[in-house]
A and B are shown apart, each in its own frame.
Chain A
Amino acid sequence: MDNAIYSGRDVVEFSIWDVLRNLLLAARWTVALSLITFAAGGLVAIILVLIRNRTDRWGKHVVVLYVQLFQGTPLLMQLFLAYFGLSALGFQISAWGAASLALTLYCSAFLSEIWHGCIQAVSKGQWEASACLALNWAEQMRYIILPQAIKLAIPPTVGFMVQAVKATALASVIGFIELTKAGTMIANATFKPFMVFSIIGVLYFCLCYPISRYARSLERKMNVR
């Protein structure tokens, strides 16, 4: 087989600026998807924690099952099922919708488990003492339990948020073009994967590092009080 005839067209020339510009544009979607995930995932997690604390046996079982289901299966598979699985069942869902849905469910499972654990970690004596003061459940939560639980919850919550930012990269499997997917596309057009992936790495770091920094300052503030 003669290779010369397969030489084809010359590849497109990307300048460093072209690469950086395109990656920054794609990073917008990573940020947007992360924000949706945090907001919706956090909200669902609060509801799950409430159900787990306030309902009968059934509610608890359902929440535990939910958490185990989403913690125990790969996110990649969840994304795949949310996009293609729902479609096969007849629900038409966009890549945006499927990515948000899967990441929200995934995030809420982890966050609810973290937060539930933090509430559990507040010693039983605190509940009993506040009950002696004739506080009802909501008052106990508001004035006694949550202020202590939140302090405990910050490090694991932030740790998970940083994980979640990076987890959005998996959404590329359903055709969602975010930072990583744009990077692979550019890497294949330029044939310079090392340059492109190094930039991607730096961009992810720029997204995640401020979150960790903010968490540390938040921890300090709370401990002083």
Chain B
Amino acid sequence: MKLISIKKIALSLVCFLVFSVLSVQAENALDNIEKNKVIRIGIPTDYPPYGFVGTDLQPQGLDVEMAQYIADKMKVRVELIPVISANRIPYLQTKKADLIISTLGKTPEREKVLDFSIAYAPFFQGVFAPKTTTIKSFSDLVGKSVAVTRGAMEDQELSKLTPPGVNMKRFEDNNATIAAFVSGQTDAVGMGGAVAVNIIKQNPKLGAEYKLLIKNSPCFIGIAKGEEELRLKVNAIINEAKKSGEIDKLSKKWLARSAGELPD
């Protein structure tokens, strides 16, 4: 044992690492997809009606069908990757996913690290609270606690909109945010409208209602920075789907409303 020189081992490890990093070649994502006949798409599994599981634990929802639609149009197989708000951008950055279809809103901060397609579905975030709580403006939130999901759009936007003195409680995933609000740990919750309405319907005792609009922010598809060919391809598919009425059909099926005007 004493003969093994740790120095030598360490040195060879470092050499191996450096070599492996250098040997990685930048490959075009679109070419890869077409070569492997598979597209890897990150989708939510905890965000009904955009992405949630059925009794067989298989994902379904608007985002999931959109992912399938894009794969069909590209004539490749789809590999669905369940992502959460906290890890969906790393999935793209490390090329573990080709696309992220996960109710992703467009913000200047995010545009620095990833590219966006044109919008594919409507979405809004609001503040919800029991009917007995008076919240008419963002300043009414002072002294109250608001549950939000860390890193989600409502977290960032609400922080900008509210005056100091609002007790923002940040949770790691939507599930914890919902549980906190439903169990009465917080006075209000900031979250996506479609999800909130479902929760209110499921928990009539809560007596919660829509209070304030945080932001109207349609969903975009996230693409790794610089994958221009893939982005144009996805945009072409969405444009075609808008014309053929497919986008409207998806929206009506899952959100019970038409897609309306979606920004580019």
Residues of A at under 8 Å CB distance from B? 1, 3, 5-9, 11-15, 18, 22, 25-26, 50-51, 54-56, 58-59, 62, 80, 83-84, 87-91, 173-175, 177, 181-182, 184-189, 191-194, 197
Contact = CB atoms under 8 A, between A and B. Distances in A.
A191 B199 contact: yes
A14 B202 CA distance: 13
Contact of B82 (A1, A7, A13, A185): A185
A13 B103 CA distance: 23
A122 B118 CA distance: 68
Contacts of B20: 89-91
B81 A175 contact: yes
B43 to A, nearest CB: 11
A197 B54 CA distance: 18
Nearest to B212: A1
Contacts of A177: 57, 82
B222 interface: no
B257 A5 contact: yes
A188 B6 contact: no
Interface string B67-84: 000000000000001111
Nearest to B180: A193
Nearest to A94: B96
Contacts of B161: none
Contacts, number: 141
B173 A184 contact: yes
Nearest to A90: B24
21 contacts: A1-B210, A3-B197, A3-B210, A6-B257, A8-B194, A9-B253, A14-B55, A54-B1, A55-B4, A84-B96, A89-B17, A90-B24, A173-B86, A175-B87, A184-B46, A187-B178, A188-B48, A188-B174, A188-B175, A193-B178, A193-B179
A193 B53 CA distance: 14
Question: Chain B binding site: helix, strand, loop or mixed by DSSP?
Answer: mixed
A54 B54 CA distance: 55
Contacts of A193: 175, 178-179, 182
B263 interface: no
Interface in B193-234: 193-194, 197-199, 201-203, 209-210, 213
Contacts of A175: 81-83, 87, 91
B203 A191 contact: yes
B120 interface: no
B224 to A, nearest CB: 12
- Chain A CB within 10 Å, residue with most, of B1, B93, B178, B182: B1
Nearest to A62: B6
A11 B202 contact: yes
A189 B52 contact: yes
B2 interface: yes
B7 interface: yes
A163 B17 CA distance: 32
Contact of A188 (B52, B54, B81, B91): B52
A184 B173 CA distance: 9
A186 B203 CA distance: 16
B143 to A, nearest CB: 25
B105 interface: no
Contacts of A186: 53, 57
Going nearest first, the 6 A-B pairs with the smallest beta carbon separation are A90-B24, A87-B94, A188-B46, A191-B202, A193-B179, A184-B175
A88 B197 CA distance: 39
B90 interface: yes
